[in-house]
């Protein structure tokens, strides 16, 4: 009888060991599953229903093409800011076969930084008598030039008068004037944006 009791107790102990082993295996697998689940959840968004959407990061504001387009930047300071009649300007004697003197005008357009530029505009030149010892030396106007040939908004005309080695424009104007006299030359430029710029130059004989 005592042997049967001992055998029963041994069998019960083995059953308890197997149950404990099974419970441990189930617990370890459950723990491993929870660890894997938490690790995989770190890479993505874990928003729960009803929660406020998280703020977009800069990388998430890209366009559908995959790249962000830079904001448009308006160029400032590169339009014509002032004009200048260069010292090369002169009133020369009539050439062979010419009846009138030729007024060679060299005009520079400058941006806000003082650089000579090539730009559109409509020009007008006026020639005045010179009044010495006067607060306003401009006397009577004796000539005016305007028209299609001075329209620098036309690409062909603009390029025709442009002298790249001078970074300026050259104009040949015939005029009925005495090359031995002093005159005031005024240049006016009407810019596309509506600005009106002007410059004056004193034409001296033999200069």
pTM here?
0.64
Distance CA 83, CA 172 (A): 18
Q: Which of 124, 84, 136 is CA-nearest to residue 107?
A: 84
Residue 7: band (very low, low, confident or very high) from pLDDT cuts 50, 70, 90: very low
pLDDT at 103: 95
The two structure tokens encoding residue 45: 């968004």
Token look-up 């005029």 returns 175
Report pLDDT for 67: 66
Residues shown for the chain: 207
Nearest-angstrom CA–CA distance, 192 and 207: 34
- What confidence category does residue 27 fall into, taking pLDDT thresholds of 50, 70 and 90? low
5 CB burial (10 A radius; 0-12, 13-18, 19+): exposed
- On whether the CB atoms of residues 128 and 145 are closer than 8 A, the answer is no
Query: Which is nearest to 172 in space by CA: 101, 103, 122?
Result: 103
145-179: per-residue pLDDT in tens?
998 889 999 999 999 999 999 999 999 999 999 99
Distance in angstroms (rounded) separating the CA atoms of residues 160 and 167:
13
Torsional class of 50: left (φ above 0), alpha (ψ -120 to 50), beta (otherwise)? left
- By 3-state DSSP, what share of the chain in percent is helix, strand and coil, each rounded to 5? 25, 30, 45
- Angle (CA) 177 189 167, round 5°: 90
Distances (CA, A) of 5 to 1, 13, 115: 7, 12, 114
Is the Cβ–Cβ distance between 161 and 154 less than 8 Å? Answer: no
Query: Tell me: the pLDDT tens digits for 33-82?
Result: 666 666 665 554 455 555 555 555 554 445 455 566 666 666 667 899 99
């Amino acid at each position: 009888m005592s042997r049967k009791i001992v055998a029963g107790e041994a069998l019960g102990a083995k059953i308890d060991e197997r149950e404990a082993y099974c419970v441990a295996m189930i617990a370890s697998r459950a723990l491993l599953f929870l660890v894997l689940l938490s690790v995989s959840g770190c890479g993505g968004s874990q928003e729960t229903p009803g929660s406020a959407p998280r703020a977009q990061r800069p990388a998430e504001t890209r366009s559908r093409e995959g790249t962000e387009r830079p904001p448009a930047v308006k160029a400032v300071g590169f339009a014509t800011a002032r004009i200048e009649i260069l010292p090369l300007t002169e009133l020369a004697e009539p050439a062979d076969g010419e009846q009138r003197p030729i007024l060679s005008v060299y005009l520079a357009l400058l941006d806000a930084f003082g650089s000579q530029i090539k730009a559109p505009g409509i020009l007008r030149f006026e020639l005045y008598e010179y009044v010495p010892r006067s607060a306003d030396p401009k006397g009577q106007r004796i000539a005016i030039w305007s028209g299609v040939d001075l329209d620098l908004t036309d690409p062909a005309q603009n390029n025709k008068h442009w002298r790249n080695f001078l970074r300026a424009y050259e104009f040949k104007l015939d005029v009925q004037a005495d090359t031995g006299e002093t005159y005031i030359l005024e240049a006016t430029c009407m810019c596309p944006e509506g600005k009106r710029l002007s410059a004056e130059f004193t034409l001296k004989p033999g200069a």
